[in-house]
């Protein structure tokens, strides 16, 4: 399988600018052959402003940005793309729009069959997985399904947060929310990607990049901790 | 309109037990005429344990608890109830089950036409409003719609949290999430009910109870702050 994915937890890390913390990984991922990146700004309301932001960041790195919302035929834009980057925002809005524009199947086909490099951040990482059922976002619009593009056989929780022992807030912790997900039958694994972490997938190899590590949740098993650099290739093959 | 609602932000306040912080309001709300309360435990996986918890809390206050999940005919149980209490947990699981058990319409009818007293906490408060689009929960299961029971013409965000100026977390603040909801056309007001707050609705009067206040979000307008004791009856009539 040709699949190449860079799945980033968060677009912006505290104290730095948009995509600054993963700039080296972006350069390594897209490399020198990619000249143009197709940007998908559907997760935010102001698509023009979001596209400018992506363009201002990627152009100095050597990549021209075309936005899918400026294309007369979004499916054709996916068909012709050299690389794709789906940005963060609201995951429900993003997934609903991917269905409305009927680009979901074509993105899957191009990534899995043609090896189209796929970069996602936050909501753009959620939609790369089995489903959006482990997003942190509010369900502000109703998509036709929670099923996502399905480029990997597990789910991701971006912006993963450890419990705060000093908190007096009584809403569920992130781990409790994921545990509730796993009370449902047949639910896949969930990789809790902390801010500052990202997952690189190349074919059947998966590697944890970044500085903050990740926590893996499997239905019926204790959670497991993985440090930066870990080989997570088993996530791509195990049924779990 | 006979409608009587007690909509609680959170079942448990930091440092106290289940429903302790709203015990006086529960006694005032159900009063001395109600003898039995129909409990709806659908938001949690272990319905038996949840029912025991509700029973252990409400019995010493003078109310016997019947759980809807123990009834052979859930719709008949709603039809015969003296009062109803929908507990918190996962809002998606709760709403999906209300649809699956086909009790949503009957609950609405009994509350709005018969004056059946309705108490909700957290997820049970979310489902009393226009939609669950302003829940904080993870979308662990897919309901047929986000439309909820619709006992009031606005939405509520339970467990409302003010931004934490010391946080380094880069996920959206609660206010940013609600603002993203209001980017969508035709979205109703959202009352951010802090933990420790609750809303009492009697006919066309709404009063903010508890100790922590609430923040009101209206599409296209600045947010507004309301202190405990505020008269919020305008929420029941204004289109907004
Ligand atoms: Ca988001
Ligand atoms: Ca909840």
CA distance A161 to A27: 27
B169 — phi, psi (to 5°)? Answer: -70, 140
Is A21 annotated as catalytic? Answer: no
Query: Token match 């489903």: residue?
Result: A131
Question: Domains in chain B, ordered, with CATH?
Answer: 4-162+171-237 (3.40.50.880)
**Using 50, 70 and 90 to split pLDDT, how confident is the model at A169?**
confident
**Using 50, 70 and 90 to split pLDDT, how confident is the model at A15?**
confident
Quick: pLDDT tens for B16-46.
Answer: 889 998 999 999 999 999 999 999 999 999 9
Is B182 annotated as catalytic? Answer: no
Closest Cα of chain B to A2: distance in Å? 31
A178 touches chain B (CB under 8 A): yes
Task: Report chain A residues whose CB lies below 8 A from the CB of B87.
Answer: none
Contact check, Cβ <8 Å, B181/A138? yes
- Model confidence at B132: pLDDT above 80: yes
Quick: pLDDT tens for A39-92.
Answer: 999 999 999 999 999 999 999 999 999 999 999 999 999 999 999 999 999 999
Query: Is 0.90 exceeded by the ipTM?
Result: yes
Quick: pLDDT tens for A99-125.
Answer: 999 999 999 999 999 999 999 999 999
Count of CB pairs separated by less than 8 Å, A with B: 99
Task: Report chain A residues whose CB lies below 8 A from the CB of B137.
Answer: 172, 177
Contact check, Cβ <8 Å, A177/B137? yes
From B14, B90, B142, residue closest to A180, measured CB to CB: B90
- Model confidence at A239: pLDDT above 80: no
Check: CB of residue A54 under 8 Å from CB of residue A83: no
In this predicted structure, what is the pLDDT of residue B165?
Answer: 83
Task: Report chain B residues whose CB lies below 8 A from the CB of A171.
Answer: 10, 136, 159, 161, 195
Which ligand neighbours the alpha carbon of B94 most closely? 2
Contact check, Cβ <8 Å, B180/A141? no
Which ligand neighbours the alpha carbon of A44 most closely? 1
Contact check, Cβ <8 Å, B181/A89? no
**Using 50, 70 and 90 to split pLDDT, how confident is the model at B171?**
confident
Contact check, Cβ <8 Å, B169/A159? yes
CA distance B3 to B134: 23
- Model confidence at B80: pLDDT above 90: yes
Token pair of A50 as six digits: 């979001």
- Distances in Å between the Cα of B163 and the Cα atoms of B171, B176, B221, B228 are 11, 9, 19, 20
């Amino acid at each position: 399988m040709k699949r190449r994915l860079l799945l980033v937890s968060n677009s912006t890390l505290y104290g730095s600018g948009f995509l600054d913390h993963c700039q080296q990984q972006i350069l390594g991922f897209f490399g020198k052959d990619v000249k143009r990146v197709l940007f998908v700004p559907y997760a935010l309301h102001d698509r023009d402003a979001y596209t400018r932001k992506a363009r201002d960041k990627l152009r100095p790195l050597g990549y021209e940005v075309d936005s899918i919302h400026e294309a007369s035929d979004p499916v054709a834009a996916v068909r012709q793309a050299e690389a794709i980057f789906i940005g963060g925002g609201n995951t429900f809005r993003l997934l609903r729009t991917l269905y409305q524009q009927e680009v979901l199947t074509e993105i899957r086909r191009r990534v899995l069959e043609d090896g189209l490099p796929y970069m996602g951040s936050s909501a753009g990482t959620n939609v790369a997985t089995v489903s959006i059922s482990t997003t942190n976002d509010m369900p502000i619009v109703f998509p036709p399904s929670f099923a996502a593009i399905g480029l990997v056989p597990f789910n991701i929780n971006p912006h993963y947060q450890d419990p705060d022992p000093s908190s007096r807030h009584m809403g569920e912790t992130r781990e409790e929310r994921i545990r509730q997900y796993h009370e449902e039958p047949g639910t896949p694994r969930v990789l809790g990607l902390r801010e500052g972490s990202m997952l690189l997938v190349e074919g059947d190899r998966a590697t944890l990049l970044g500085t903050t590590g990740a926590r893996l949740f499997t239905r019926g098993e204790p959670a497991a901790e993985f440090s930066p650099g870990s080989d997570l290739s088993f996530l791509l093959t195990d049924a779990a």
